[in-house]
Amino acid sequence: METMNVDFEKIWLDRTIFAALSPLPIPLFQGQCISYKQEILICGGNKVNECYSYHTIQKQYKFICSYPKDVILLGHCVVDIKNNKNKITLLSFGGSFKHTLIMNYTSVWNDKIVVKNNKWIPLKDNNNNIICIDKVIIIYYL
């Protein structure tokens, strides 16, 4: 009787809708990701302040920027608030010491554009006051 050698892991990977990516350049836990065109933007994680772009076609990572040194990313959130043909505006808020930062991201994969403005800056109102997005906790005493 002949035995068949079946690679069940390969069969499972071929049928799954998720694909394994190349390993990250840094260890990351609780990372915040945004999909933008053919990129996955990885905006820091638990106590990791670096941001990377993963190109889904080229299957490579490129460094974008770092959060400011005084920002501790523990429980932060990143959302895109504006998206157009060549730029996406990202908003990052939360963390251990409650930051609210904004970045006008330009793809690091476009070789025709010199990218130097991808950085997190404080979100400010029209009077140049820093805005902090935080949850409001109301405590009732009986």
> For the segment 22-79, what is each residue's pLDDT rounded down to a tens digit?
787 788 888 899 999 999 999 998 878 999 999 999 999 999 999 999 888 888 889 9
pLDDT classification of 11: cutoffs 50, 70, 90: low
Residue 93 dihedral angles phi and psi, to the nearest 5°: -145, 160
Evaluate whether residue 129 is within a structural domain.
no
Q: Residue 120 has what pLDDT?
A: 96
Answer with the residue of higher pLDDT: 66 or 7.
66
Condensed to tens digits (0 to 9), the pLDDT of residues 119-130 reads 999 999 899 888
Domain residues for the domain of 101 are 21-122
Residue range 82-108, pLDDT digits in tens: 777 778 999 999 877 788 999 999 899
Asked whether residue 16 carries a pLDDT value surpassing 80, the answer given is no
CA distance linking residue 124 with residue 38, whole number of Å: 30
Query: Considering the domain boundaries, does residue 140 fall inside one?
Result: no
